[in-house]
Amino acid sequence: MKRVRWLKAHWPVTIRTLASKMKTQLFTPDSFDGFVIERVRDDSIEAHYIEKLNYKETVTDPFGNEESFDRITYRRIDFTLFSEFPHIELRDAHRSTREFLSKILELCNFSVAVEPVNVDLLLWVETLQKQLRKKVIVDSLQVAFLEIEPEISAKILLKGGKDVREALEHLSAKRKFTLEKIQVKIPVDHLAFPIHMSSAGIARIPEEHMNDYIRIVRQSLAAHP
């Protein structure tokens, strides 16, 4: 599964201007970090952010003697910046994106606000279904803070061989709850594959379907920023 995360940002400059600023901080063989730009359009920048990490590795031989070696590794984030919501797309990025976001802030002279996404998952699924023009099945969902009675709540995982949205409606019975995660089954020919979606604007898409479906999932999210 490939993990995709989207974020909000309010760009103080055009995408073309942002790309020009990015070109001043390209990654080179002598860099410790920087950008590699793949494609620039009026409304998007497709690029990579690369960090070069130097560290020492210490190895102990069978006789208790220690040897240290200098090691180099590279950390890469594949991303696209859009002029419209969702403004930042991170593809299969490692958990720590602090350095990348700091670079984006620096490019914008620290006058941009980058915010997490908080999405209504049921609405996201409905919009995705309309985009696909086919019925999808929600066969798993995770609910938190389901109010059982005052000051008592539950966290519940619903799974089924059929769509569980109706079961959620009966279970919640108009009580307060937070829907955290959903698994959607997308029909393709006589089979179906899963897409995992979270309320934080994160989707996990099977690698073999990534190129065909990432745009559709993004567009369905963009329908309700």
> Using one digit for the tens of pLDDT, what is the confidence trace for 12-60?
999 999 999 999 999 998 889 999 999 999 999 999 999 988 878 888 8
Q: Once rounded to an integer, what is the mean pLDDT over residues 59-74? A: 84
Residue 225 has pLDDT above 70, yes or no: no
Supply the pLDDT for residue 150. 83
pLDDT tier, 61 (very low <50, low <70, confident <90, very high otherwise): confident
Q: Once rounded to an integer, what is the mean pLDDT over residues 66-70? A: 84
pLDDT tier, 206 (very low <50, low <70, confident <90, very high otherwise): very high
End-to-end CA gap in the chain:
25
Average pLDDT, the chain: 90
pLDDT tens digits, one per residue of 154-171: 899 999 889 999 998 888
Residue 188 has pLDDT above 80, yes or no: yes
Position 19: which residue type?
A
Copy the structure tokens of residue 95.
């958990």
Among 105-109, 129-133, 171-175, 204-208, the range scoring the smallest mean pLDDT is 171-175
23 three-class SS: helix
In the beta sheet, which residues pair with residue 70? Answer: 56
> Of all residues in the chain, what percent carry a pLDDT higher than 90?
62
Supply the pLDDT for residue 87. 95
Report CA-CA distances (Å) from 21 to 52, 100, 167, 209: 21, 15, 51, 33
Q: Give the global pTM.
A: 0.87
Supply the pLDDT for residue 74. 85
- Name the residue ranges covered by the structural domains of the chain: 2-116, 121-222
CB atoms within 10 A of CB 40: 18
> Of all residues in the chain, what percent carry a pLDDT higher than 70?
98
83 and 44 in contact (C-beta within 8 Å)? yes
pLDDT tier, 217 (very low <50, low <70, confident <90, very high otherwise): very high
Query: Which of 7, 77, 11, 69 has its CA nearest to residue 43?
Result: 11
pLDDT tens digits, one per residue of 121-134: 999 999 999 999 88
What is the 8-class DSSP label of residue 45?
A: E
Residue 107: its H or E element: helix 98-107
Query: Which of 213, 223, 220 has its CA nearest to residue 187?
Result: 213
CB atoms within 10 A of CB 173: 6
pLDDT tier, 172 (very low <50, low <70, confident <90, very high otherwise): confident
Supply the pLDDT for residue 30. 86
Query: Which of 6, 7, 221 has its CA nearest to residue 114?
Result: 7
